[in-house]
Amino acid sequence: MKLVSKSLVLAAAMLLTSGAFASSKGTLQLSNPVTVNGTTLKAGDYKVQWEGSGPDVELSIMQGRNVVAKTSARLIDLETPAANDAAVTQASDSGTKSLAGIRFQGKKVALDLTGSGGAMQAGGSSK
């Protein structure tokens, strides 16, 4: 009986761990150039990956296997899953756009790159 209990606990721990890693990656499609931490990203498809367990994470944006930009971000819990993938941008006074957030279709988590959560709140965040 103890062996069965230990096996169930181990299996549950493995499922929880794999779920945590699965949610730390996503995709990003940009229709227009945007700036991320001083780096201009051209329109195109990118992969995003973040590290960290709390709300503050380190975000890497990759094209293929190459990291093209790194920045800090904040994980935001959404009230409902995002309806689609979205790159949230902010225009500066000079007209350039910076990446302010990323939403992932079907996920209840989003990334805020502004540090304030404001850009994501406008998109239906519970915070």
What number of residues does the chain have? Answer: 127
In this prediction, what percent of the chain has a pLDDT beyond 90? Answer: 66
Over residues 17-59, the pLDDT tens digits come to 434 444 599 999 999 999 999 999 999 999 999 999 789 999 9
Residue 33's identity, in one-letter code, is P
Over residues 48-103, the pLDDT tens digits come to 999 997 899 999 999 999 999 999 999 999 999 999 999 999 998 888 999 999 99
The domain spans of the chain are: 25-121
pTM for the structure as a whole: 0.73
d(CA 123, CA 80): 11
Asked if 104 and 110 touch (Cβ cutoff 8 Å), the reply is: yes
How many CA atoms, within 13 angstroms, populate the side-chain half-sphere of residue 25?
A: 7
Alpha helices in 33-124 (DSSP H): 118-121
Radius of gyration of the chain (CA): 17
* Stretch (H or E) spanning 74: strand 66-77
